[in-house]
Amino acid sequence: MHLLHQTLPSKFNLKLGLQVAAIVTHAPSSRDSGKKVLPSPVAQYALDKGLPSHLIFSPEKAGDEAFLSALRELQPALCITAGYGNTLPTKFLKIPVHGTMNMHPSLLPLYRGAAPVQRALQDGVPETGVTLAFTVRKLDSGPMIASKRFQVDDLIKAPELLSFLVSEGSKLLIRELSSILDGSAKSKAVPQDDSKATLAPKLAPDEAWLSFNQEAFVLHNKVRAFAGWPGTCAKFVVFDDKSSQEKVLELKIITTRVCQALEIWDGEQDYVTFKKGSLMFPCKGDTALEVISDTIL
């Protein structure tokens, strides 16, 4: 979350003569088996760019009075949120002079929530985008001032798509900043149609497992969607003809491709085959999931 100020001196400058008054991000976390406590990537980036540490806030809750008091003293012109993940209280939303702007990586009102890019890929959408909307108390449902659409390649994964949408959303934000700051954005903002809203709940680790009684394209989309976290996994049984023993292997599935016309020979449709350097998993509807890249867990 960025707080923009029009006069605060800082080395951390933006275009249009604006400067970052402060940054709100997640608290430092333990890494390397708990031996080091490091700032969030956003905080580290801000520090590297010269933003003083006292202007980087990590409140436990956005409604903490000490945090809100410090925020009022800064008198920010505008607040910008992107993937912050916490609900902003009314007390917060009243502080920025020109309101709070949310850069959301979906075509609102579609995919409101914590995982819009992942859930869109999981659904196999052919198109997505990024939307700028004013932040209100209701989840991702504020009036929209601009959006941009993009076609979705059927091989792109969530981390790459998210990075692309954030980059494009930043360009869109810079384009619209002048209208936000002169107040004209509020008059042109379009209310969202709540009847068309869909939700994008956060991902859960127990969703990572693949079930091959689904069609291959469903599994392929899930691999793409879950590529950043939590990943996708599969179990299969390896049978040793010589010893007549079975061993269960767990694979982390990294990259896949859909085969629409799987050639099945001599009743082998229940078996995983190895073909041209890839594992071929038979799936529902005479389809197969070709696993191009994986690792044993």
Output the six-digit token pair for 22: 């402060």
pTM score of the predicted model: 0.90
Q: How far, rounded to the nearest angstrom, does the alpha carbon of residue 73 sit from its chain's CA centroid?
A: 32
Residue 293 phi/psi, 5° resolution?
-140, 135
CA distances from 26 to 14, 203, 231, 285 (A): 22, 19, 23, 45
Q: Tell me the pLDDT of the chain (297 aa) as tens digits.
A: 766 554 444 445 555 567 889 999 988 876 655 667 888 889 999 999 999 999 999 998 999 999 999 999 999 999 999 988 777 999 999 999 999 999 999 999 999 999 999 999 999 999 999 999 999 999 999 999 999 999 999 999 999 999 999 999 999 999 999 999 999 999 999 999 999 999 999 999 999 999 999 999 999 999 999 999 999 999 988 877 777 788 888 999 999 999 865 555 444 566 788 887 888 899 988 889 999 987 876
| Burial group, residue 254, by CB count within 10 angstroms (0-12, 13-18, 19+) | middle
Count of H helices and E strands in the chain?
7, 14
| Burial group, residue 135, by CB count within 10 angstroms (0-12, 13-18, 19+) | buried
Q: Rounded to whole angstroms, how far apart are CA atoms 168 and 260?
A: 34
